[in-house]
Amino acid sequence: METIVVSPRGARRWRRGHPWIYRSDIEPSNAPPGVVRAEDASGTYLGQALWSPPSEISLRFLTTEESPVDGEWWHHRLAEALAIRDPENLDATGYRIVHAEGDGLPSLIVDRYGDIVVVQLLSAGLEAVRDHVLSAIDEIAKPKSMLLRNDASVRRHEDLPLEVDEVRGPIPEFVEAREGAVRYWVAAHTGQKTGGFLDQRENRMLMGGLAHGRALDLFTYQGLFALQMATPAESVVAVDSSAAALEVGAKNAELNDVHNVEWVEANVFDLLRAYEREGRQFDTIVLDPPAFARQRSAIDRALRGYKEINLRAMRILAPKGTIFSASCSFHIGRDRFFEMLISAASDSGRRLVLERTTSQSRDHPNVLTIPETGYLKAALLRAVD
């Protein structure tokens, strides 16, 4: 096995619990991508890692043990990841089996939607051991079919092609999954991420218990918050700018025999302004926008965007109404998110109680020493007035 030499700064980072070593913290090497041994400058063994020569993130730590990272190793780690999910008691057939660094398996995403497993291999080092990884997933998750959604743009930083590949097919255009009482279709080949947003599963089920009166689901995508809320609420307006996403939303409503959801194609910013002008009010409002800050440089602009939609939602919230507001921008931390909410509440003149703070579902483990594993934060607010 090839050996890569890591600088003292890189070694310190590992010991503090972060799995990434940057290019500036290793000695250059011509070793091909794959699993390598890492040592410090004095020759002390540090562990084994995924080696990605083309990437700024050169090494991703796998283990301190010296036993080989072979098929058996991947099998064992996959089994551990699945056991933590306790799928029997999850009350969902759509859930994440591996959350990359959050499960000690850097750059690997494995999501299950019913019979199908969707995989992303997001580094050159991982791609090099793809056969071991895919066999282990197959043995542990035992899916009927398996799809590689290797079209995530981060693969460009690894000099890897963007492609979608049926490892085991054929896979129909739509596969069925469930969370709580809601059944839904997943377009595994073309849907966002691996087909859906599993990180909001627990929050959607929370809103399925709390929604009341006239509900508004903003940035609905394929309608999963809307469908959870459709049972307890009188009616739901579900809004997205993507006609294709709304079409699947309507198909999902049909699958659940739900008839009180209205699907509205609009830009949320414009629609909220129009609702405010018309004096329309809602008793329950969900705000689940896409990441407005994809880079650090976008933070200020993103915060203005978040504040605008939250402020307008607070203004059209009926007396005693409930707002669930989320942000999935990694670059906007919990403190900034809550400062934004406080500022919006203050401008709105509403008296809002913070009933609960939540984050991503538990099948997306957020490791304290790896901030990148936790990105979703959310607040459940109730109007006193």
177 binds ligand SAH (CB under 6 A): no
Of 347, 332, 342, 349, the C-alpha closest to 381 is 342
Question: Burial of 295 by CB count in 10 Å (0-12 exposed, 13-18 middle, 19+ buried)?
Answer: exposed
CB of 129 to ligand SAH, least distance (A): 32
> For residue 170, is the peptide bond before it cis, meaning its omega torsion is within 30 degrees of 0?
yes
C-alpha pair distances (Å), 47 with each of 12, 15, 21, 51, 263: 13, 11, 12, 12, 52
Place of tokens 């699945």: 82
145 binds ligand SAH (CB under 6 A): no
184 binds ligand SAH (CB under 6 A): no
Among 101, 103, 158, 288, binds ligand SAH (CB under 6 A): 288
Of 64, 13, 10, the C-alpha closest to 37 is 64
Among 49, 124, 224, 303, binds ligand SAH (CB under 6 A): 224
Among 241, 256, 260, 366, binds ligand SAH (CB under 6 A): 241
Among 290, 304, 319, 355, binds ligand SAH (CB under 6 A): 290
236 binds ligand SAH (CB under 6 A): no
Among 268, 287, 303, 323, binds ligand SAH (CB under 6 A): 268
Of 134, 164, 160, 130, the C-alpha closest to 149 is 164
CB of 304 to ligand SAH, least distance (A): 14
Q: Between 48 and 329, whose beta carbon lies closer to ligand SAH?
A: 329
User: Which of 328, 340, 376, 380 is an active site residue?
Assistant: 328
Question: Residues touching ligand SAH: how many (CB under 6 A)?
Answer: 19
Q: For residue 213, give the DSSP letter.
A: S
Among 14, 113, 174, 197, binds ligand SAH (CB under 6 A): 197
Residue 161 a catalytic site member: no
Contacts for 311 with CB less than 8 Å, ≥ 6 apart:
344, 347, 348
Q: Between 110 and 227, whose beta carbon lies closer to ligand SAH?
A: 227
CB of 218 to ligand SAH, least distance (A): 7
Of 23, 14, 29, the C-alpha closest to 61 is 14
Of 200, 205, 225, 198, the C-alpha closest to 99 is 198
Question: Please, what sign has the CA dihedral across residues 46, 48, 49, 54?
Answer: positive
263 binds ligand SAH (CB under 6 A): no
359 binds ligand SAH (CB under 6 A): no
Given the rule CB under 6 A, which residues bind ligand SAH?
A: 196-197, 200, 204, 219-221, 224-225, 239-242, 245, 267-269, 288, 290
Active site residues: 328
